[in-house]
Amino acid sequence: GQNHVGYINDDGIGVNFTFAGATMDVDCLLVPKGAPNKDNAMRLINEMIDAEAQARLVSAMPFGPANSNAFTAGILTEEQGKLLPTFPANFAPQLLVDPSFYIGQLGELTEEFDTLIQQ
């Protein structure tokens, strides 16, 4: 998506793209039980998911912020937001990956993927 096309277009090449049919994945941040620096780890996670921090990160690396409040933090323009996969209007045409699909199939799917990329 935008993370690659944006850099190309910054050079004046003029490539277009769509979010229709793109995939949106989920992820998580966690601190393992018994972690020796739990409080510091939680502070780091809070900073990483902070709306303003995520909005600033887009300037250096144009990936869609996970915190939707990044779009209203006063840092990103609406034009910048429209180019990101997590911009609210860009959600509808995308497919949300269902993590439960991979349960019990990861080995087989990994093997199929490895075969595919070697062709």
Q: What is the mean pLDDT of residues 71-89?
A: 92
Q: What is the mean pLDDT of residues 79-90?
A: 91
* Helix locations, 11-105, DSSP H: 38-48, 51-60, 78-82, 88-91
Residue 1's pLDDT band (cuts 50, 70, 90): very low
pTM for the model:
0.73
Say what the pLDDT of residue 43 is.
98
Q: Regarding predicted confidence, which is higher, 6 or 15?
A: 15
CB atoms within 10 A of CB 86: 19
Residue 95 host element (H or E): strand 95-96
| Distance separating the N- and C-terminal Cα atoms of the chain | 24
Say if CB 95 and CB 88 are below 8 A apart. no
- Using a pLDDT cut of 90, give the percent of the chain over it: 53
Query: Domain coordinates of the chain in residue numbers?
Result: 2-117
